[in-house]
Structure 1
Amino acid sequence: MSRGFVKEEDQEEIPMVPPRADLPDGAVNYVTKIGHTNLLAERNGLLVEKESLQHDNENERRIASNLINAKLQLLNERIASAKIVDLKEQPQNEIRFGATITVVIDNAETPQQFQIVGVDEANIAKGKISFLSPIARLLISKHVGDTATLKLGKVERVFKIIEISYT
């Protein structure tokens, strides 16, 4: 039967799902072991949420279920494409994916620390930046003692690498 002959209130609402963190076409979906574990935990949480859906209205339950299914589809695609990077196999004296880096920016008195992680793990408030970010791209392949300059319009920020670790 054509959807044109279905009562308006019976039509399924298409869920609007916020996109996951941007991963450009062709980019490898690198993740740390912790990041991969977090993706799996997120999937388990969505599955539990789906199983425990309780709505008096069947239509509301179906809409909520469709939303969770849409989130699961995006998440499963991300999990399937994940390439776990073993931090122990990274060159310990060089900045690569997974490195935790201590830097002094410009002539600041207090050093800053952040880790280069996958796009789904990135969270600047937790000191985690995506490997695709301009800062990460600038610092990849650098060593302790090196400096790198990031140009932001007319402003230049100089990063001096103080320490590299893979923990």
Structure 2
Amino acid sequence: MSRYRPPRTAGTPLITPEGEARLRAELHELWHVRRPQVTQAVSEAAALGDRSENAEYIYGKKMLREIDSRVRFLTKRLEKLKVVSERPSDPGKVYFGAWITLEDEAGEQTRYRIVGPDELDLKQGLISIDSPLARALVGKPLDAEVLVQTPTGTRAWYIVAIEYRDQTFS
């Protein structure tokens, strides 16, 4: 059986200014803080002698490969991303970067922000623009009903509020 796995699709190349700042901070942390620390540890471990049986050396080299891989990914990804910082021309509809308050049929409200795939964090209410819910929401006005196919069946939500940074539409 082959170990080949096709590359994962990168997703929509959009990002919020906050998301770009987080990725740049991670890149800076990896390149200017973590990598020099690990490099120093590997040098010290190599000075101890036989590298083939030196767990600290082997682990350090593995960490360097992981850091370098992530740095390459972040560098290439940041070059391709388009930062979306301006408000849409029609702020009464849902677009990228919007905070949306949804109400389900039971009356429970949830709040999500549509962001790029690199910023996805459900605990903070950040959903990817590539997700089925976000795709169903984009372009919809306030008070619109949104139907989304979920693993448990079709669910309906109603758009209760749309916010873009300091503007609120409800």
With the length of structure 2 as denominator, give the TM-score of the two structures.
Answer: 0.77
Contact 2:88 / 2:95 at 8 angstroms: preserved in 1?
Answer: no
Contact 1:32 / 1:87 at 8 angstroms: preserved in 2?
Answer: no
Once structures 1 and 2 are overlaid, which stretch shifts more, 87-96 or 53-62?
53-62
2:116 aligns with 118
The AA in structure 1 aligned to 2:113 is Q
Shift of 1:155: 2.1
Once the two structures are aligned, what percentage of the paired residues are identical? 24
Alignment of 1:56-71 (within 5 A): 56-58=44-46, 59-60=57-58, 61-71=60-70
Segments of 4+ moved more than 4 angstroms = none
Once structures 1 and 2 are overlaid, which stretch shifts more, 47-56 or 126-135?
47-56
Which runs of 5 or more structure 1 residues have no equivalent in the other structure? 1-20
1:43 aligns with 2:31: no
Contact 1:87 / 1:98 at 8 angstroms: preserved in 2?
Answer: no
Determine the C-alpha separation between the residues in 2 that align with 1:42 and 1:90: 32
Aligned length: 144
Determine the C-alpha separation between the residues in 1 that align with 2:151 and 2:121: 24
Shift of 1:164: 0.4
With the length of structure 1 as denominator, give the TM-score of the two structures.
Answer: 0.78
**RMSD between superposed Cα atoms in Å:** 2.0
Shift of 1:148: 1.1
Tell me the secondary structure at the aligned position of residue 156 of structure 1: strand
1:31 aligns with 15
Contact 1:87 / 1:166 at 8 angstroms: preserved in 2?
Answer: no
Which runs of 5 or more structure 2 residues have no equivalent in the other structure? 1-7, 47-56, 166-170
Alignment of 1:3-152 (within 5 A): 22-24=9-11, 28-47=12-31, 48-53=33-38, 54-55=41-42, 56-58=44-46, 59-60=57-58, 61-89=60-88, 91-108=90-107, 110-152=108-150
Shift of 1:153: 5.3
Determine the C-alpha separation between the residues in 2 that align with 1:134 and 1:124: 14
Q: Deviations over 1:85-114 (max 9, x none)?
A: 014345311101101000102222x31101
Tell me the secondary structure at the aligned position of residue 88 of structure 1: coil
